Amino acid sequence: MIIAPQWIGDAVMTEPLLRRLHARGERLTVGALPWVAPVYRAMPQVGEVIELPFQHGGLQFQARRSIARQVEGRFDTAYVLPNSLKSSLLPFLAGIPRRVGYLGEARVGLLTHRLKNPRNKPPMVALYSALSGESDGLQDDRPRLQIDAAHADAVLARLGLERGGYDVFAPGAEFGPAKRWPAIHFTELARLLDRPVVLLGSAKEADLCAEIAHPVPGKFLNLAGKTSLADAFAAISAAHAVVSNDSGLMHVAAAFGVPQVALFGSSSPLHTPPLNDRARVLWLKDDPAYQPPLDCAPCFERECPLGHTRCLVDLAPERVIAALSSRP
């Protein structure tokens, strides 16, 4: 059994681990929160997805014990991917004999096989893949997602979209505004594009997407908060290109191999890059011509500590157009 992370981007980054486990003959069942479950349904190596009825925050011990009773005796091994105490409770309560994970919140007794947390931040794919216990790398360790073509075509028909005939913008970032390219920049970028633009995001990002779309009537199809994650996957997989912040949907686009431009500000592409040969990363920290240098980046803060967010405000839409033109 796999206990999945709670964030979409992290879930995508676990795919090489699951591919490795499947290749050596393990049958994979993933326990995932409902908003992450569609990621694992897009991984063909996963045999079953159990949606876990847990909420953010709180131990929710009774709910975890109830699920543990339902799966008791079904599994020999559990891979606990999050580092939290509560994530390791279910496998422990279910009596799964072998429980693998990183040392975390006082959970030494809950895991039987414990890895030390690395001091520096390694790439997330490598962090998760190490839980397999194998040191050799996959020939291709880039996350890969797949979606049924007939389902994707049905979604596109319902939305009135044609394959390759539109671009996707994912302007949100769950972590906070320090990771979000300004709304006005997304609007100006749309003015420079010849194709219509689909806006994707959660219900929390509906107002942001409405702000982006309002100045250019008829240019956008705003689906923020109006479509399932599985349908968003279909829209991303068939897009001409995707432009996003460092977010979960950035990793989804990468896993589908879609041409994309990824915009980084307060975070670092050295830690969570889009693992896609067709991706272009824009990060002013990496630009020697940008002056004065961004000594403050990456700060990994939710909001800019200095109040200016130069790392994203100064990233002009014209730079994104150039990156889209130069992508493979």
Task: Give yes or no for a contact between 229 and 251, defined as CB atoms under 8 angstroms apart.
Answer: no
Task: Give yes or no for a contact between 148 and 154, defined as CB atoms under 8 angstroms apart.
Answer: no
Show the tokens assigned to 288: 């020697």
C-alpha–C-alpha distance, residues 97 and 164, integer Å: 48
Show the tokens assigned to 227: 């479509």
CA distances from 141 to 52, 100, 119, 129 (A): 27, 21, 22, 9
CA distances from 260 to 68, 99, 125, 156 (A): 41, 37, 19, 19
C-alpha–C-alpha distance, residues 324 and 261, integer Å: 7
pLDDT at 31 over 80: yes
pLDDT band at 224 (very low <50, low <70, confident <90, very high): very high
pLDDT band at 148 (very low <50, low <70, confident <90, very high): very high
Greatest alpha-carbon span in the chain: 61
pLDDT at 196 over 90: yes
pLDDT at 175: 82
- Residue 315's identity, in one-letter code, is L
C-alpha–C-alpha distance, residues 4 and 17, integer Å: 12
Range with the poorest average pLDDT among 135-149, 161-175, 179-193, 297-311: 135-149
pLDDT at 79: 98
Number of CB atoms found within 10 A of residue 296's CB: 15
Give me the mean pLDDT over the 209-215 stretch. 97
> Rounded to a whole number, what is the distance in angstroms from the first to the last CA of the chain?
38
C-alpha–C-alpha distance, residues 229 and 219, integer Å: 22
pLDDT at 138: 64
pLDDT at 120: 80
pLDDT at 176: 84
pLDDT at 42 over 70: yes
Show the tokens assigned to 140: 């291709």
pLDDT digits (tens, 9 = 90+) for 255-281: 999 999 999 999 999 888 999 999 999
User: Does CATH place domain 150-326 in 3.40.50.2000?
Assistant: yes
pLDDT digits (tens, 9 = 90+) for 70-126: 999 999 999 999 999 999 999 999 999 999 999 977 788 999 999 998 888 788 999
Higher-confidence position of 54 and 56? 54
Q: For residue 197, list its beta bridge partners.
A: 167, 220
Class of domain 2-132: alpha beta
pLDDT at 46 over 70: yes
Sequence spans of domains, the chain: 2-132, 150-326
- Residue 222's identity, in one-letter code, is N
Give me the mean pLDDT over the 302-307 stretch. 94
pLDDT at 139 over 80: no
Angle at 23 between CA 17 and CA 25, to 5 degrees: 110
Show the tokens assigned to 42: 């897009």
C-alpha–C-alpha distance, residues 165 and 194, integer Å: 10
Contacts 24+ apart (CB under 8 A), 146-152: 146/42, 146/43, 146/44, 147/42, 147/230, 147/233, 147/234, 147/237, 147/256, 151/230, 151/234, 152/234, 152/237, 152/238
Angle between the N-to-C axes of helices 206-213 and 183-192, in degrees from 0 to 180, rounded to the nearest 10: 40
pLDDT at 137 over 70: no
pLDDT band at 173 (very low <50, low <70, confident <90, very high): confident
